[in-house]
Amino acid sequence: MSNAIEGVDTQAGQGDRIEHDSMGELRVPAAALWGAQTQRAVENFPVSGMPMPRGFIRALGLVKAACAVANLELGTLDGERAEAIRQAALAVAEGRYDAHFPIDVFQTGSGTSSNMNANEVIAHLASAACGKAVHPNDHVNYGQSSNDVVPTALHVGAALLIEESLLPALQHLEAAILARADELKGHTKTGRTHLMDAMPVRLDQELGGWAAQVRNAQRRIAQAAEGLHALALGGTAVGTGVNAVPGAAEAAIAWLADETGVAFRPNDNRFEALSSQDAAVAASGALKSLATALMKIANDLRWMNSGPLAGLGEISLQSLQPGSSIMPGKVNPVIPEAVCQVAAQMIGNDAAITIGGQAGNFQLNVMLPLITHNLLQSIELAANVSRLLADRAIAGFTVNAPRLSAALDRNPILVTALNARIGYERGAAIAKRAYAEGRPVLDVACEMTDLEREELAALLDPRQLTGS
């Protein structure tokens, strides 16, 4: 097989060849491995310039290879054609021919154009490899429909990215947070509620909350991913399995599970599998929950790093790049800012996926390319930015211990610890005076209560107030 031809000009012009489909003849760039139906889609959908994502093309190649294996096992394709299709499809899955998948994300809602793109490229490669004519529909797409292949590839692509990329990245992030928490047990700081001074907490407790958010996000995502393991393959056009060979979908899905190590299975109800994308919506919802956790952690880091003189200045994030084109010496929290932008994109993607999910008109969802693009993008962005957050923000920040201590010493809210001894109202009076005079609460409490300074110091010890 030839390697992918980089930079293929998708527009017909000089050096074309003539291809045909059921609608007639059409000029296709001579270097292109696709055929007439792909070319029609290229010309019909010059919308965004964004092709379908790599994860989807990989999954599409794996599905086509799986179907070729099943058709060979069942004797519905001859051995030479089936093996040539399998090899070509796996080459597509590996990414060797991505330049030949030019169709825009915003295309026909079933993704038929992308399915035919794969059929045509694989047929072209397989024909050259085995010396026999391999037809895109009659051989590569045998026993299949775009209506079951595309939702199957959507699920496979998303499940693989979650399993291979996102969950390991989140495990890495959780481990990085826990490692820093263990290092920072000795630091106590002012807690904050409503962004206002509150009772003290330890840094390891604060980071432990972050780690729990990431751990819970993993659990939700893994649970949602199980829904993606149920595949539509075998439903063909409307869920009835018309033209499908009995047992072929089951054999193909079993091969996919063995090949990928993911527990893919036939969907119990293929009408649901074709007409809805509830599993994708659920997975996106779990990703949105992760996005909110990532944004919370990133914003906490930004606040803690703020200043360094006029802000909180509790920590210093690693200096990665100059922060201003006009203000020399300024350094910004660039990684947390990138994390927040990714989180915003994920939340926006979820909104579009939610709208896409309700587009299951009767027997087919007709926003499959949009759902595919947004879901895979959210997974990939989350995986990438989680590693950045771990390695370039969490792992490298330093603690400004004197700043933490100075703020704690002057925190009037510590008087809360005296409630049981002096009552809420006297405590409030002490706090207000300490605020007004800018004095440590210990000094004011000594003046306004009958308690000995030694006892007050023990009761107001910030470290003791953080619990176990």
Average pLDDT for residues 51-67, to the nearest whole number? 98
- The architecture that CATH gives domain 154-190+201-228+269-399 is Up-down Bundle (1.20)
Average pLDDT for residues 406-435, to the nearest whole number? 94
Structure tokens at 453: 């300074």
User: What's 309's DSSP letter?
Assistant: S
Confidence of residue 215 (pLDDT cuts 50, 70, 90): very high
Quick one: pLDDT at residue 13? 65
* CATH class label, 16-142: mainly alpha
Q: Where are the alpha helices (DSSP H) in 74-202?
A: 79-94, 112-130, 146-161, 167-183
Q: Which fold has domain 410-466?
A: Ribonucleotide Reductase Protein R1; domain 1 (1.10.40)
Quick one: pLDDT at residue 14? 65
At which residue do the structure tokens 């109202």 appear? Answer: 425
* Collapsed DSSP state (helix, strand, coil) of residue 399: strand
Quick one: pLDDT at residue 10? 72
pTM of the model: 0.95
Quick one: pLDDT at residue 1? 35
Pairing between β-strand 230-231 and β-strand 265-266 as defined by DSSP bridges = parallel
pLDDT (tens digit, 9 = 90+) per residue, 142-193?
999 999 999 999 999 999 999 999 999 999 999 999 999 999 999 999 999 9
Tell me if 365 is assigned to a ligand binding site.
Answer: no
Tell me if 138 is assigned to a ligand binding site.
Answer: yes
What are φ and ψ of residue 365, in 5° steps?
Answer: -75, 135
In whole angstroms, give the CA distance from residue 340 to residue 358: 28
Average pLDDT for residues 280-309, to the nearest whole number? 98
Tell me if 145 is assigned to a ligand binding site.
Answer: yes
Confidence of residue 468 (pLDDT cuts 50, 70, 90): low
Quick one: pLDDT at residue 126? 98
Quick one: pLDDT at residue 15? 86
Structural contact between residues 160 and 231, judged by C-beta atoms closer than 8 angstroms: no
Structure tokens at 376: 């895979």
Would you kindly state where each structural domain of the chain is located, as residue ranges?
A: 16-142, 154-190+201-228+269-399, 410-466
At which residue do the structure tokens 């005076």 appear? Answer: 433
Structural contact between residues 70 and 249, judged by C-beta atoms closer than 8 angstroms: yes
Buried b (16+ CB within 10 A) or exposed e, 162-196: bbebbbebbebbbebbbebbeebeebbbbbbeeee
In whole angstroms, give the CA distance from residue 300 to residue 353: 28
Quick one: pLDDT at residue 157? 99
In whole angstroms, give the CA distance from residue 273 to residue 423: 62
In whole angstroms, give the CA distance from residue 274 to residue 230: 11
Pairing between β-strand 188-193 and β-strand 24-29 as defined by DSSP bridges = unpaired
**How many Å separate Cα 317 from the centre of its chain?**
25
Q: Which amino acid is at 373?
A: H
Quick one: pLDDT at residue 2? 40
Structural contact between residues 408 and 401, judged by C-beta atoms closer than 8 angstroms: no
Average pLDDT for residues 450-462, to the nearest whole number? 94
Q: Residue 223 pLDDT > 90, yes or no?
A: yes
Percentage of the chain modeled with pLDDT above 70: 97
Average pLDDT for residues 272-290, to the nearest whole number? 98
Quick one: pLDDT at residue 409? 87
In whole angstroms, give the CA distance from residue 237 to residue 145: 6
Tell me if 92 is assigned to a ligand binding site.
Answer: no
- Mean residue pLDDT of the chain comes to 96
Q: Residue 11 pLDDT > 90, yes or no?
A: no
Q: Catalytic residue positions?
A: 194, 324
Tell me if 146 is assigned to a ligand binding site.
Answer: yes
> Do 410-466 and 16-142 fall under one CATH topology?
no
Tell me if 137 is assigned to a ligand binding site.
Answer: yes
The full 3-state SS of 423-450, as one line of letters, equals CHHHHHHHHHHHHHHCCCHHHHHHHHCC
Tell me if 172 is assigned to a ligand binding site.
Answer: no
Percentage of the chain modeled with pLDDT above 90: 96
In whole angstroms, give the CA distance from residue 175 to residue 164: 17
